[in-house]
Structure 1
């Protein structure tokens, strides 16, 4: 059985789509999944990437694309009242009862639906109280570690593993990024010979661009 680490931030609409699609894409395979909340903004900052929300035209395109993809896949997705928003309260709440920095599928789904269904304010205090009550009924205990520390440790570990965005899936040290990577992930789990021949080879193609920050045109 293969073990998959699913890195996610609830602010990402693609994380919601991938969460819903994953069981269908991997149907019939033997695997386990652990869900690791990370702070997408910190990962993007590490890479010097402003993200879709930092580029107005890309932001518009992303919102159009995810809502279109959602309806094509039959996955309910409505943009929240405000986006982007600061996801820290949600991430820390999700990790408040975590034993090791991971959360179960029920918890991940509860937070993703909270954000991506209904078009509501993801940080509305009344809605957060309702979400917290739901989680309290499901949780079995905590490690006693601070949720802030767990989130930071998850994010740092993800960056060290080569994660640069979400959703991302790690298996056997290989990182698969984005909703579109799910068929590729299935191929790996099925033993596709491509991975033996090309996974490392294609990543070693030399760059034809000049070194960055030379100050020369």
Structure 2
């Protein structure tokens, strides 16, 4: 039976972005399926009593330095978007809606949004910037907004977030391989090992 990696993430998490730059190739190497699991990190924090590392100034400074180190190791562009940390509720709802209703376009949308935020440092919390980014990437901003507003999409994102918490998730990214949980983009070596 083929293996899979469940990838719980939030677009607003820089560590999720870095993990995303590596996971498709890692999974391909092991003929494993990468299962994208959008969740709302703010909801996870609220449910678990956790908080972003940037809330502790010294920890936040170190984390940013460490993320830069990994970006250099991976050879990917990385920087903080304007307005960081940002409220990703609308983004995650729109992304979830695309996954549910047009799954063939989900990965292209995910790539567009992750790259816009972390490689190009676009302020996607600004509605006009988001609309311009979506249109330039070949997506209809109106359709994205409509998806994000659908009750079933909101419920699906909430349910995924609640499932993540139930399974022990306290931050992003979190990967599961055959029941084993791995937190953080700096644990991809263990994900790799679990797939062997």
Q: TM-score range by the shorter chain?
A: 0.7 to 0.9
Preserved contact between residue 35 and residue 105 of structure 1 (Cα < 8 Å)? no
Task: Name which one, 1 or 2, has greater alpha-carbon Rg.
Answer: 1
| Secondary structure class of the residue paired with 2:6 | strand
Match of 2:113 in 1: 111
Change (3 A) 1:135 1:173: farther
The Cα offsets for residues 111-147 of structure 1, whole Å up to 9 and x where unpaired, read as: 211210222212122221134433349x9xx8x7532
Q: CA deviation at 1:53?
A: 2.1
Q: CA deviation at 1:21?
A: 1.2
Match of 1:171 in 2: 177
TM-score normalised according to structure 2 size:
0.83
Looking at secondary structure, tell me which structure has more helix per residue. 2
Distance 1:11 1:99 in 2: 20
1:1-150 mapped onto 2 (5 Å cutoff): 1-99=2-100, 104-133=106-135, 134-136=138-140, 146-150=152-156
Q: CA deviation at 1:51?
A: 2.2
| Secondary structure class of the residue paired with 2:158 | helix
Q: CA deviation at 1:20?
A: 0.6
Change (3 A) 1:34 1:26: closer
Q: CA deviation at 1:158?
A: 0.9
Distance 2:28 2:155 in 1: 35
TM-score normalised according to structure 1 size:
0.76
| Secondary structure class of the residue paired with 2:42 | helix
Preserved contact between residue 35 and residue 104 of structure 1 (Cα < 8 Å)? no
Match of 1:193 in 2: none
Distance 2:178 2:18 in 1: 23
Match of 1:156 in 2: 162
| Aligned alpha-carbon RMSD (Å) | 2.5
Gaps of at least 5 residues in structure 2 are none
Q: How many corresponding residue pairs?
A: 186
The Cα offsets for residues 68-93 of structure 1, whole Å up to 9 and x where unpaired, read as: 32123211011111211111121112
Match of 1:201 in 2: none
Q: Once superposed, which parts of structure 1, at least 4 consecutive aligned residues long, lie more than 6 Å away?
A: none
Preserved contact between residue 80 and residue 115 of structure 1 (Cα < 8 Å)? yes
Preserved contact between residue 161 and residue 173 of structure 1 (Cα < 8 Å)? no
